[in-house]
Structure 1
Amino acid sequence: MTGPVTSHWRSVMEARRFIPWRRSSPSWTVRQAKAGFSLPELIIVMVVMGLILGLLLPLVLGSRDALRGDQRRTGVNQALRIPAEIIGNDIRMAGERFARLSNTGLQPVEIIAGGSGAPDQIILRRNLSDDVLPVCESVTGTQNSIRVYRDSTWLANTTSPSYPECGPVIDPDGWPRNLRSVQDLADDTTSDGILRGFLFNPAAGSGQFFNFSITSSPDPSSGQILRQGSGPTWAGYPLENRPRIYILEERRYRLEDGFIELVVNGRDDEPLRVAADVSELRFQYVLDDGQVTGIMPADMGWRNIRSVEVLITGEQAEGADQTERTLAYRFFPRNVLSR
């Protein structure tokens, strides 16, 4: 066995002498991949990328600015729509229980024009009682009792003009019926019998709010109401002007320092803020003859209103960008149809 094996390995060794040994080397493609990009190629790539960014960046930034602008406009619209609806609901309800009201006297819708660039105000009123109390004496100074009823002797002795409104029918309990209905209202809606009234002077077209109760001592037929709490000095309400007292709710909207404020029943020191970031507030009557005006013509009034136009301007800022919008609404005071 030794002979053949030795002969075999001799043959292998002899063959290796004639096979040259060559070290393998990487291909051209592999060498290039390891070498990377050349400088001209990098410059070309950077130029192309710069051109692409130069084209896309304005589009991206423009789209972002447009989106933000849309968001600001949507925000302003929403912020203005809410106070407009609040004011509109009060316009729709204005004039409740004013069915017998003519175009003279206290008006359910009253626009106070701002003038000289100042914002407008609007006053909206609705009666809480069907009865209006006549004032049967002159009211001046700081007097706290006001007569709203007179007996037949006073009525008979009063010189011209007469005041038949001061002698309402007496009910079986000896109460003047207008006082009885007002007292019932106080019993139903308050815990202390105190109501808020509005003393109105038709000749002057103005009035004042005050708190009052009806006296039942010593006799309801005394026909007096009593002012409760501290109140202002009366502006002067002569008997001959036929002043009267309304039991009503008054809601006045105004613009103060960028806020729409609501003043209820003349409480100017207790305003409620309805909206912010408002720069302008305007109101106009839309009348049945086609006029759109902020000042009611002298020969027209409540019965001529077809709608009330509300214009609100608001703004919203984001950095240096600012969006301003003006929305206009028209609301119909439905109680104008009551006769």
Structure 2
Amino acid sequence: YNPATRQGEFFIYSDEKDDASGLHIHRKEGRWQYTYDYGSAMYILQERRYQVQDGLLQLILNGDTNNPLNVVDAIENFQVRALMQDGSIKTSFTPADSWTSLQALEVTLTGRTTVRGQEIRRTFSTRLFPRNILSN
């Protein structure tokens, strides 16, 4: 990412090489869209996406939908809402939305199970502060 031109791109990181000619970062495939000067910034991001599938709360790392990680079972409902600084609430958040306008993320999780013949249902809700706002 070049902060002066505000140009950057996402890529799949492959590896790096440090040899006599310098340090080189390699992408998995494709060509760079832009030329980056010495001193350009690089941000390494890890995508974490959660979903409920067949009662399992699953974590999908970096888009790897073929290998979801099971976090907890007996989940009935999972909701996330974006609480904005202007007081509005969003139930969907697109790349066009400004993450710097977030105040908090509200996560609500409902689980249900049966113990000794009695159904138990619990709903937990929390608000999380998106720390990346501080880097703006």
Q: Same fold, TM exceeding 0.5?
A: yes
Match of 1:276 among 73, 78, 87: 73
CA distance in 2, matches of 1:273, 1:224: 32
Match of 1:293 in 2: 90
CA distance in 1, matches of 2:7, 2:95: 27
Distance of aligned partners of 1:215 and 1:253 in 2 relative to their CA distance in 1, 3 Å threshold? same
Match of 1:336 in 2: 133
What secondary structure, in the 3-state scheme, does the structure 2 residue paired with 1:316 have?
Answer: strand
Match of 2:14 in 1: 212
| Structure with the largest fraction of strand | 2
User: Aligned-pair RMSD on alpha carbons?
Assistant: 3.6
**Any gaps of 5 or more consecutive residues in structure 2?**
35-40
CA distance in 1, matches of 2:6, 2:104: 36
| Structure with the largest fraction of helix | 1
Match of 2:26 in 1: 225
Percentage identity across aligned positions? Answer: 25
- Counterpart residue identity of residue 93, structure 2: M
Instruction: Work out which of the two has the higher radius of gyration on C-alpha atoms and give 1 or 2.
Output: 1
What are the superposed Cα offsets for residues 200-234 of structure 1, whole Å, 9 maximum, x if unpaired?
2xxxxxxx6x341234567338x66253xxx7xx6
**Any gaps of 5 or more consecutive residues in structure 1?**
1-131, 135-162, 167-198, 201-207
Q: Which has the higher contact order (CA 8 A, sep 6+)?
A: 1
Q: How many residues align?
A: 127
Match of 2:58 in 1: 261
What secondary structure, in the 3-state scheme, does the structure 1 residue paired with 2:63 have?
Answer: coil
Distance of aligned partners of 1:276 and 1:299 in 2 relative to their CA distance in 1, 3 Å threshold? closer
Distance of aligned partners of 1:290 and 1:316 in 2 relative to their CA distance in 1, 3 Å threshold? same
Tell me how far 1:254 sits from its aligned partner: 1.6
Contact 2:13 2:26 in 1 (8 A): no
CA distance in 2, matches of 1:277, 1:164: 45
CA distance in 1, matches of 2:92, 2:84: 11
